Amino acid sequence: MMTYSDYIKEIEERKGQGLHPKPIDGAELLSEIIEQIKDLNNEYRAESLNFFIYNVVPGTTPAANLKANFLKEIVLGQSVVAEITPAFALELLSHMKGGTSIKVLLDLALGNDIAIAKDAAEVLKTQVFLYEADTDRLAEAFKGGNEIAAAILESYAKAEFFTKLPEIAEEIKVVTFIAGEGDISTDLLSPGNQAHSRSDRELHGKCLISPEAQAEIKALATANPDKSVMLIAEKGTMGVGSSRMSGVNNVALWSGKQASPYVPFINIAPIVAGTNGISPIFLTTVDVTGGIGLDLKNWVKKTDANGEVVRNESGDPILEEVYSVATGTVLTINTKTKKLYSGDKELIDISKAFTPQKIEFIKAGGSYAIVFGKKLQTFASKTLGIDIVPVYAPSKEVSVEGQGLTAVEKIFNANAVGTTPGKVLHAGSDVRVTVNIVGSQDTTGLMTSQELESMAATVISPIVDGAYQSGCHTASVWDNKSKANIPRLMKFMNDFGLITARDPKGVYHSMTDVIHKVLNDITVNEWAIIIGGDSHTRMSKGVAFGADSGTVALALATGEASMPIPESVKVTFKGDMKGYMDFRDVVHATQSQMLKTFGGENVFQGRIIEVHLGTLNADQAFTFTDWTAEMKAKASICISEDYTLVESLEMAKGRIQIMIDKGMDNQNQVLKGLIAIADKRIAAIISGEKPALRPDANAKYYAEVVVDLDQIAEPMIADPDVNNADVSKRYTHDTIRPLSFYGGVKKVDLGFVGSCMVHKGDMKILAQMLKNIDEQEGKVEFKAPLVVAPPTYNIVDELKAEGDWEILQKYSGFEFDDNVPKAAARTSYENMLYLERPGCNLCMGNQEKAAKGDTVMATSTRLFQGRVVEDTEGKKGESLLSSTPVVVLSTILGRTPTIEEYKTAVEGINLTKFAPSHKLLVK
């Protein structure tokens, strides 16, 4: 609890960091500030007024509750503050978005003072963040004959909170800033290693790109006061790898506009662009803030006289610049013609950025206001007994006669709400869908809680089957930042209705299992829609979408999400896996073969990968669906055989029961309810009433990819290609190389087995490799450190029961101890095995790291610059991604193995195998 004197002290400390006072969210501090405002002779009165008016977090925070009630006193004349007139108090209430401010406005509007009631009603007519408790009051007052309530409802039915907003500008002038060349990961905009500061928006804004870039953006803005600075990914895609809300927030802080003069450090309307557009999950986040994302297409493949693509020595297409967007270039976005101009010269059509729905997001200042506005208009019309007046752009409904449905089209049709009755929808349709499972992870969770507070949500939607708050991203190091942030987050989410990794009451043992693994277990119906606060929310059951913290908050609060039905790419397999190959190699080869088949075009980007794995259970199939984030797919769906799906659901039931046995279920018995859903689904599959999800035989796909397993002759490695002369080709995940490329001589400085890409089988592979070497050589010697982080505690328990953990303990120089977790990140490593706590560990980049300049061989998903390993002056850090046996052998040898060494090392080991299904997995 912070007092005023503590706050002043903190302000002085922040000045040293070049920061303004931190926004106020606590009740104790604001209570003291209010008392100082009331005391006309108080020496701190003037600055207290300033803090009260301009520096209080809105929504449902304790401070917002106090602020709203004090403003109510001022409106009613119960308190007199010369600087805050009743009219100004109402204006301040209008900027508080929801929660107690709505309750206060309703109190005033439905009160006995008619003049005040009318003024309060005018403010209420501009508000959209109303919940059932608020709308119930309005409906009750209306039924009781209250004319003010009737007037408010009539305004809501006309959606005047939207129609009376200013139209978006016809011309938007921008000045360009090249944020980077090649694909830009959201790590550049909001580094993972700064995750602890995300809820402190101004502080976190300091980590955008670099101080030099921030200075340049600021200089451009100052020199071009009538223009917006547009951040660009030159020769690449903007925002790959994550939907990170903090990245968009940072861009908005530096180049957007303030959402409200009375709410600090919440900016909207950022403008971002990329030669190859914006990553789909990142674009959703841009929509949340009412921003604009452009596909520039300013570099194209060079062609010869015959129209053939010209390639360089490496076989990559040579690109030609169509027009320049060099930093400082002034361009014009015309929202009416939907074209981009340089002066009077038309450069490109940008109509995809200005669909009717996106224009609404821009006009309303973000997509939330549209979601809540539609809901509010529907309520008002129903209460008044009138038809809904068409105000919003009609949802696009694409229905092709005689065309079958892909798996994602089936799921969206089954979960759609508010669509034309009886109409079957295909890809391209805009759909509101119910959400079954929601996940919040711990480094974005604080932002999700802030979003929930700002939209005045206090309890999870009853529509949601289950939701989970993880602790995996902060599992490795329990430092002071984690101790300050995580318990507060867990309490908030537990109170809100989520199952939480840590128990705020301290009853059950803290569980730091990787969020994606838990979500995969609690998804107990392959028809489910999952929303998760991480780009790797890619389940092997159902269809899962990685989302920003705000979209997660919206799903938690409303139980819904809105998006177009994506196109699908069908992936099937032929041939046979060689006995010495691991399924991870099939995953990498899929990407490699796809790029080769389509001449370098990534047909997966922005689409659903419908992968027909059939015979792989959910744990093993997850290795593929998880990696689809790196394929730049929007999401993925695994098509399973009936018996395989039943096996996966039984496995999920067992793990959910373990969570229940640990005491993790809540008062609503969410986990028990999930087991009931699984039982019902299993019964329907076994009886034949509803077999496993299948696409229709006559479904239409954007493309079809057939992966030839016979072509996969050696382990495949995703290489960041850090020294590629073409900067845009570095850190892309698209460079997939065979093991032999490295000739058995590339030095490996550290190995990592862990993250969401490994399952129990990987841990058993590691154990068996150590046992084999122990038996053959009498001991195991590591020539490079090997960090091992099991994904879940269940896996640890099962390995102990099956006798595999013992060999890992034998060769570990460090084993995690939950009773004494690490308080500081490791800065150096010895050549030994480190048994780390279950969680994300090195993959996250926010806690543990490899030594600068290291070459890391890892099972993880991240090879972005500076993520797992940073550069030194003389050597770039590189994170090569491969299968578990390759990682283990590389650390024992201290270098990449030859194919002969690899084959020998894995002989007799049960690697993760896959055989294509012999059944036709269509309906």
Cα–Cα distance for residue pair 607/552, rounded to 1 Å = 20
pLDDT per position as a tens digit, 673-693: 999 999 999 999 999 999 999
Q: Check residue 805 and give its pLDDT.
A: 95
pLDDT digit string, tens, across residues 707-728? 999 999 999 999 999 998 888 8
Three-state SS for 204?
A: helix
Q: How far apart are CA 7 and CA 22, in angstroms?
A: 9
Beta bridge partners of 466: 437
Q: What is the 8-class DSSP label of residue 194?
A: G
Say yes or no to pLDDT of 586 above 90: yes
d(CA 37, CA 46) in angstroms, rounded, equals: 8
- The pLDDT tens digits of the residues spanning 299-311 come to 998 888 888 888 8
Q: Using one digit for the tens of pLDDT, what is the confidence trace for 427-436?
A: 999 898 999 9
The pLDDT value given to residue 922: 66
Q: What is the pLDDT of residues 9-36, one digit of tens each?
A: 999 999 999 999 999 989 999 999 999 9
E-state strands within 159-215: 171-181, 184-185
pLDDT at 364: 96
What residues does 562 pair with on adjacent strands? 432
> What is the chain's mean pLDDT, rounded?
93
745 has pLDDT over 90: yes
Mean pLDDT across 184-189: 88
Can you tell me the distance from the alpha carbon of 301 to that of 319, in angstroms, rounded to the nearest whole number?
5
What is the distance of C-alpha 489 from the center of its chain?
17
The DSSP bridge pattern shows strands 228-234 and 271-274 to be: parallel
Q: What is the pLDDT of residue 923?
A: 66
Cβ–Cβ < 8 Å for 435, 560 = yes
Q: Does residue 847 carry a pLDDT above 80?
A: no
Q: What pLDDT, on the 0 to 100 scale, is given for residue 10?
A: 94
Give percent of the chain with pLDDT exceeding 90. Answer: 76
pLDDT at residue number 196: 78
From the CA atom positions of the chain, what is the Rg in Å?
Answer: 28
Q: What is the pLDDT of residues 132-149, one digit of tens each?
A: 889 999 999 999 999 999
CB 771 within 8 A of CB 730: no
Average pLDDT over residues 319-335: 96
How far is 80 from 74, CA to CA, in rounded Å? 6
Are 250 and 213 contacting, i.e. CB atoms less than 8 angstroms apart?
A: no
Q: Please tell me the distance from the alpha carbon of residue 850 to that of residue 869, in angstroms, as a whole number.
A: 5
Phi, psi of 97 (to 5 degrees): 75, -40
Count CB neighbours of 675 within 10 A.
19
pLDDT at residue 199, rounded to an integer: 79
Tell me what pLDDT residue 793 has: 93
pLDDT in tens, 851-898: 999 999 999 998 888 889 999 988 999 999 999 999 999 999 999 999
At 309, which amino acid appears?
V
pLDDT digits (tens, 9 = 90+) for 549-576: 888 999 999 999 888 999 999 999 999 9
3-state helix, strand, coil in the chain (%, to 5): 40, 15, 45
Query: For residue 637, how far is the Cα from the chain centroid?
Result: 18
- Residue 902 pLDDT: 96
Q: What is the pLDDT of residue 350?
A: 97
Q: What sign does the CA torsion over 838, 245, 60, 43 have?
A: positive
CA 833 to chain CA centroid, nearest Å: 32
Give CA–CA dist 540/83, Å, rounded: 58
Locus of tokens 């730091």? 512
Residue 454 confidence (pLDDT) above 80: no
Query: Would the CA dihedral through 697, 698, 702, 708 be positive or negative?
Result: positive
**Residue from 406, 671, 482, 710 nearest 576 by CA:** 710
Q: Considering the chain, what percentage of its residues have pLDDT values greater than 70?
A: 99
3-state secondary structure at position 563 = strand
More confident residue, 192 or 55: 55
- Give pLDDT tens digits for 80-135: 999 999 999 999 999 998 889 999 999 999 999 999 999 999 999 999 999 888 99
Its sign, for the CA torsion 731, 736, 741, 745, is: positive
Residue 243 banded pLDDT, cuts 50, 70, 90: low
pLDDT (mean) for 521-546 = 92
Q: Note the residue count of the chain.
A: 923
